[in-house]
C-alpha cells in the first residue's frame, strides 16, 4: 500500500532500533497491592499495565449457569495513557472487545473444574499504551492470577507479530509500527502445549505468510513465558525468604 | 423472564452440548451435512441499488447501502468514509441477558469493521469530491432477520454483495458548487474495489480434531471455540479471529485457512455471477422485487449451489491448474486439427498470436489456442506462458461482458500490490 511505511531499515533494524525478532524490554513484579488476592505490574517497552485479581469467591446467584466458573474481566485504559487524552477509560467498543478477548483467553487457561459455582474477577488497567496493549494486559493478568494462587493449566501469554514490507516477520510491535499500516496478529498461547487460546488479526497478507507470522508470534510467546517464569520464581524466593526458603532453593 | 433463560436458546444446556459433541466425534451433523459441507447460500437483490438479502439455511440477513455527502475527517481529508452497522435486534428474543446481546453485536461489528474497513477493500479516495470539503459517506446497515448460526458469513456476504451492487449518482464540483446528476442525466457509478473479502466460519470441539464448517446456531452455541477467517479472492488473509474455551493448535488453523481461502474465492465468484444475472434481469424487465418479495421465499433467488454447478470445471481448474489445462487441450483436438490444416501453409513463419486468430473469438478460445500453440512450438513462445498468470485463466473462462468492469479493478489491485 502506498501509504505504508517501511518498518525495517536497510540495515535490518526497526524504528526503535530492535532487530526483527527482538522483544521489547520486559519488567514485571508480582504482589504490588495488599488488598486484592493477587496483583501484578508489567512493563513491556513503554506499555505499562497493572492487574488485580479478586477471588475465587462465591458467584452471585443470578449469574450462575449450572456449576460453572464465572470469569469476570474488566479492561480499562487510563485517560492519560495515550498521547491524546481519552475521554473515558472504559466502555468504548475497543475496551469491550478486549475485555471479551481477555475472558476467552483466560478461560482456556484457568482450571475451571476446580472452582465450581465461583467467580474470579480480573481488573486490568493500562497506564501507558504503546502498542500490544492486549498482549501486555493478558501477561499481567496471568501473573496476577499466579499471585492469587489460582490453578492454571499453564502460563497463558500473548505476543504480537507483524510483517514488514519485504515479508520479514516482526515480533512484539510497538505503537508506531501498529499505526503505520502493517498487518497485526495477536496470539494468546499456552506455549508448552503449543496451543492457541486466542488469536486475532487485522489488515491483510497472503496466506503463504500466515504460518511464518504465527510461528514468529509463538516464538515470542515462548520467550515471554520464560521471562515470566523467572519473575515468578524470584518472587517466590523473595516472599519465602522470611521463612528461609531462599536457602532451600 | 425465564428462571434459567439460557436454556431458551439451542445449544446452551448441558445435555445439548454433550449431544453435539458426541455427534461431532462421529463426524455427523444434525442436518445431514458432512463436516466440510456448507449450507446453500441464497442471494437476492432488491429494487434499490445496494439492497441485498442473504440466506444460509434459516439464517437471514438484509444489507442496505445508503449514501450521503459529508465532510471528511481531518486525518484523511481526501478519503470518503465507509460506515458499517450491524443491527441484531431482530433476533433479540434469543438474548435474554444483556451480556450475550452485547457480546454478539460486538463480535459481529468488529469482524465486519476489520474485514471491510481495516483491510481497505473499498477505494475510498475515489469517493472524494473536493479535498477537505466534500466526500461521499457510504453506510451499510446490516439487519439480522433470523439467526440460525453463522451470522458472520451471512453478514459479510451480504455486505460485500450490497457494496458491489450499489450505484451512486455521478457528481461534479465546479465553482464551489456540487451538482449531482440524476439517473436520467448521467449513468450511475459503481463503487471501486481494491479487493473482495468474504469470511468463512469454523467450529472446533474438544471431542474431535475435525472442525465443522458453517455451523448452525445449535452447533455454534455448543462449540468450544470458533474460528472466523476472512479471505479475499487473491488468497490474502484479511481478518482472523479464533477463540473460545478450547485451545486450538496451529495445524487446525492452517487447515481451516487453506480451505477458507478456496471457499472465499468461490463465494466471490458466486456474488459476481449473481450480480451479472441481476443486471441482465434489470435490463429485460422493469419489474424488480420489493422488500416484501425479498423476504418472501417464493421468489427465485440466486442460489450458490445452482450457480456454481456450471462453474464446476473452473473450480477444478483453480485447484489443479496443470490437470485442467490438460483436459482442456484434450477436449479441443478436432478443432485444432482443422485449424492446423487451414494454417499448414503459414506454419513455419513466426506469428503474432493475435494475427491469425479469427475475429470475434471469445477469450476462452483464444487462451486455449495459445496453449496449443505453446505446446507445438514451445521454444518460441515460452515467454507468453510465463507472463500469463494463473489467475487470468480463471477469469478468462467467464465470458460475460460485464465481468470486464470487475477485471479492471482487479488489475488495479494487482498494481497496488506490486507498489
- The ranges assigned to domains in chain B are 5-310, 320-418
Q: How far apart are the first and last CA of chain A?
A: 55
CA distance B87 to B138: 17
- List, for residues B301-348, the tens digit of each pLDDT value: 777 777 777 655 444 333 333 443 444 444 444 444 444 444 444 434
Please check whether residue B24 is in contact with residue B223, taking contact to mean a CB–CB distance below 8 angstroms.
Answer: no
Please check whether residue B235 is in contact with residue A206, taking contact to mean a CB–CB distance below 8 angstroms.
Answer: yes
The torsion region of residue A48 among left (phi > 0), alpha (psi -120 to 50) and beta comes to beta
For the entire predicted model, the pTM comes to: 0.77
More confident residue, B130 or A60: B130
Contact between chains at A202 and B114 (C-beta distance less than 8 A): yes
Chain B residues closer than 8 Å to A210 by CB = 237, 254, 257
Q: Which residues of B touch A (CB under 8 A)?
A: 4, 6, 14, 102-103, 106-107, 109-110, 114, 118-120, 195, 197, 231-232, 234-250, 253-254, 257-258, 261, 416, 419
Contact between chains at B109 and A190 (C-beta distance less than 8 A): no
Considering only CB atoms, B238 lies closest to which of A100, A107, A204, namely A204
**Alpha-carbon distances of B221 from A87, A239, B75, B97, B127, rounded to whole Å:** 35, 44, 41, 15, 40
Tell me if chain B has a CB within 8 Å of the CB of A92.
no
Chain A residues closer than 8 Å to B248 by CB = 195-196
Q: What is the mean pLDDT of chain A?
A: 87
Contact between chains at A104 and B244 (C-beta distance less than 8 A): yes
- List, for residues B73-112, the tens digit of each pLDDT value: 888 888 889 999 988 887 766 666 667 777 888 888 988 9
Contact between chains at A207 and B250 (C-beta distance less than 8 A): no
Q: Is a pLDDT exceeding 60 seen at residue B368? A: no
CA distance B309 to B306: 5
Strands B197-205 and A118-128: unpaired
What kind of fold does domain B5-310 have according to CATH?
Ribosomal Protein S5; domain 2 (3.30.230)
When scoring A92, A154, A210 by the number of chain B Cβ atoms within 10 A, the one with the most, hence best to mutate, is A210
What ipTM does this complex have? 0.86
- List, for residues A80-104, the tens digit of each pLDDT value: 998 889 888 888 888 888 999 999 8
CA distance A192 to A215: 14
Tell me the three-class secondary structure of A51-100, residue by residue: EEEEEEEECCCCCCCCCCCEEEEEEEECCCCCCCCCCCCCCCHHHHHHHH
Please check whether residue B121 is in contact with residue B197, taking contact to mean a CB–CB distance below 8 angstroms.
Answer: yes
More confident residue, B146 or A61: B146
Considering only CB atoms, A207 lies closest to which of B107, B235, B241, namely B235
Q: Would you state the pLDDT for residue B221?
A: 86
What sign has the CA pseudo-torsion A206, A209, A210, A214?
Answer: negative
What kind of fold does domain A26-248 have according to CATH?
Ribosomal Protein S5; domain 2 (3.30.230)
Half-sphere exposure at residue B3, Cβ-oriented, CA atoms within 13 angstroms: 1
Among A58-62, A124-128, B210-214, the minimum mean pLDDT is found in: A58-62
Q: Is a pLDDT exceeding 70 seen at residue B114? A: yes
Q: Would you state the pLDDT for residue A149?
A: 92
Contact between chains at A107 and B245 (C-beta distance less than 8 A): yes
Residue appearing with cell numbers 472452582: A115
The torsion region of residue B221 among left (phi > 0), alpha (psi -120 to 50) and beta comes to alpha
Residues 182-201 of chain A whose Cβ lies under 8 A from any Cβ of chain B: 185, 189-190, 193-201
Chain A residues closer than 8 Å to B318 by CB = none
Q: What percent of chain B has pLDDT over 70?
A: 66
When scoring B243, B244, B246, B260 by the number of chain A Cβ atoms within 10 A, the one with the most, hence best to mutate, is B243
- List, for residues A176-228, the tens digit of each pLDDT value: 888 887 888 999 999 888 888 999 988 888 888 888 999 999 999 999 999 99
Please check whether residue A204 is in contact with residue B119, taking contact to mean a CB–CB distance below 8 angstroms.
Answer: yes
Contact between chains at A1 and B107 (C-beta distance less than 8 A): no
Please check whether residue B230 is in contact with residue B268, taking contact to mean a CB–CB distance below 8 angstroms.
Answer: no
Considering only CB atoms, B247 lies closest to which of A195, A201, A206, namely A195
Read off the pLDDT band of A27 (50, 70, 90): very high
Q: Would you state the pLDDT for residue B289?
A: 62
Contact between chains at A215 and B250 (C-beta distance less than 8 A): yes
Q: Which are the contacts of B283, defined by CB distance < 8 A and separation ≥ 6?
A: none
Read off the pLDDT band of A248 (50, 70, 90): low
Burial class (CB in 10 A: 0-12, 13-18, 19+), A143: buried
Amino acid at each position: 500500500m502506498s501509504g505504508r511505511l517501511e518498518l525495517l531499515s536497510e540495515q535490518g533494524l526497526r524504528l526503535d532500533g530492535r532487530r526483527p525478532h527482538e522483544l521489547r524490554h520486559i519488567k514485571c513484579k508480582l504482589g504490588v497491592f495488599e488488598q486484592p488476592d493477587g496483583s501484578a505490574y508489567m512493563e513491556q517497552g513503554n506499555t505499562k499495565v497493572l492487574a488485580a485479581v479478586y477471588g475465587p469467591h462465591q458467584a452471585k446467584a443470578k449469574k450462575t449457569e449450572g456449576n460453572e466458573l464465572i470469569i469476570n474481566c474488566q479492561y480499562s485504559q487510563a485517560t492519560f495513557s495515550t498521547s491524546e487524552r481519552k475521554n473515558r477509560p472504559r466502555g468504548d467498543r475497543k475496551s469491550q472487545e478486549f475485555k471479551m478477548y481477555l475472558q476467552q483467553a483466560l478461560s482456556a487457561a484457568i482450571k475451571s473444574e476446580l472452582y465450581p459455582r465461583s467467580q474470579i474477577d480480573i481488573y486490568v488497567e493500562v497506564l501507558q499504551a504503546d502498542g500490544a496493549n492486549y498482549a501486555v494486559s493478558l501477561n499481567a493478568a496471568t501473573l496476577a492470577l499466579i499471585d492469587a494462587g489460582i490453578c492454571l493449566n499453564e502460563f497463558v501469554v500473548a505476543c504480537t507479530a507483524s510483517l514488514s514490507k519485504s515479508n520479514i516477520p516482526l515480533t512484539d510491535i510497538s505503537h508506531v509500527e501498529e499505526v503505520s499500516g502493517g498487518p497485526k496478529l495477536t496470539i494468546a498461547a499456552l506455549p508448552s502445549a503449543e496451543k492457541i487460546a486466542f488469536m486475532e488479526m487485522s489488515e491483510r497478507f497472503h496466506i503463504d505468510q500466515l504460518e511464518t507470522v504465527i510461528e514468529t508470534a509463538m516464538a515470542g510467546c515462548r520467550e515471554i513465558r520464560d521471562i515470566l517464569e523467572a519473575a515468578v520464581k524470584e518472587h517466590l524466593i523473595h516472599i519465602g525468604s522470611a521463612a528461609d526458603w531462599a536457602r532451600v532453593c | 423472564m425465564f428462571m434459567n433463560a439460557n436454556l431458551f436458546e439451542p445449544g446452551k444446556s448441558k445435555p445439548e452440548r454433550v449431544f453435539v459433541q458426541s455427534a461431532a466425534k462421529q463426524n455427523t451433523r444434525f442436518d445431514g451435512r458432512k463436516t466440510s459441507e456448507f449450507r446453500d447460500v441464497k442471494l437476492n437483490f432488491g429494487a434499490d441499488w445496494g439492497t441485498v438479502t442473504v440466506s444460509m439455511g434459516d439464517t437471514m440477513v438484509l444489507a442496505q447501502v445508503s449514501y450521503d455527502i459529508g465532510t471528511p475527517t481531518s486525518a484523511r481529508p481526501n478519503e470518503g468514509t465507509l460506515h458499517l452497522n450491524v443491527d441484531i435486534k431482530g433476533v433479540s428474543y434469543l438474548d435474554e441477558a444483556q451480556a450475550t446481546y452485547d457480546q454478539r453485536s460486538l463480535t459481529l461489528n468488529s469482524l465486519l469493521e476489520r474485514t471491510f474497513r481495516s483491510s481497505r477493500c473499498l477505494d475510498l479516495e475515489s469517493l472524494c469530491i473536493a479535498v477537505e470539503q466534500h466526500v461521499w459517506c457510504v453506510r451499510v446497515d446490516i439487519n439480522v432477520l433470523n439467526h440460525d448460526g453463522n451470522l458472520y458469513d451471512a453478514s459479510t456476504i451480504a455486505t460485500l454483495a450490497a457494496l458491489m451492487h450499489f450505484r451512486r449518482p455521478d457528481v461534479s464540483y465546479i465553482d464551489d458548487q456540487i451538482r449531482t446528476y440524476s439517473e436520467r442525466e448521467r449513468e450511475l457509478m459503481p463503487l471501486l474495489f481494491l479487493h473482495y473479502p468474504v469470511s468463512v466460519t469454523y467450529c472446533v470441539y474438544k471431542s474431535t480434531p475435525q472442525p465443522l464448517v458453517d455451523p448452525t446456531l445449535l452447533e455454534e452455541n455448543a462449540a468450544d471455540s470458533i474460528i472466523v477467517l476472512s479471505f479475499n479472492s487473491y488468497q490474502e488473509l484479511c481478518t482472523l479471529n479464533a477463540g473460545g474455551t478450547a485451545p486450538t493448535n496451529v495445524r487446525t488453523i492452517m487447515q481451516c485457512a487453506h480451505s477458507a481461502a478456496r471457499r472465499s474465492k468461490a463465494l466471490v465468484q458466486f456474488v459476481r455471477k449473481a450480480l451479472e444475472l441481476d443486471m441482465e434481469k434489470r435490463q429485460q424487465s422493469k419489474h424488480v422485487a420489493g422488500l416484501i418479495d425479498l423476504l418472501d421465499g417464493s421468489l427465485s433467488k440466486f442460489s450458490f449451489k445452482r450457480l456454481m454447478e456450471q462453474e464446476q470445471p473452473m473450480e477444478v481448474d483453480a485447484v489443479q491448474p496443470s490437470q485442467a489445462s490438460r483436459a482442456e487441450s484434450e477436449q479441443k483436438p478436432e478443432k485444432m486439427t482443422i485449424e492446423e490444416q487451414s494454417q499448414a501453409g503459414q506454419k513455419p513463419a513466426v506469428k503474432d498470436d493475435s494475427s491469425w486468430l479469427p475475429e470475434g473469438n471469445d477469450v476462452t478460445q483464444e487462451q486455449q489456442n495459445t496453449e496449443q500453440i505453446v505446446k507445438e512450438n514451445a521454444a518460441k513462445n515460452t515467454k507468453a506462458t510465463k507472463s500469463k498468470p494463473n489467475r487470468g485463466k480463471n477469469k478468462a473462462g467467464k465470458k460475460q461482458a460485464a465481468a470486464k468492469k470487475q477485471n479492471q479493478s482487479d488489475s488495479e489491485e494487482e498494481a497496488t500490490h506490486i507498489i
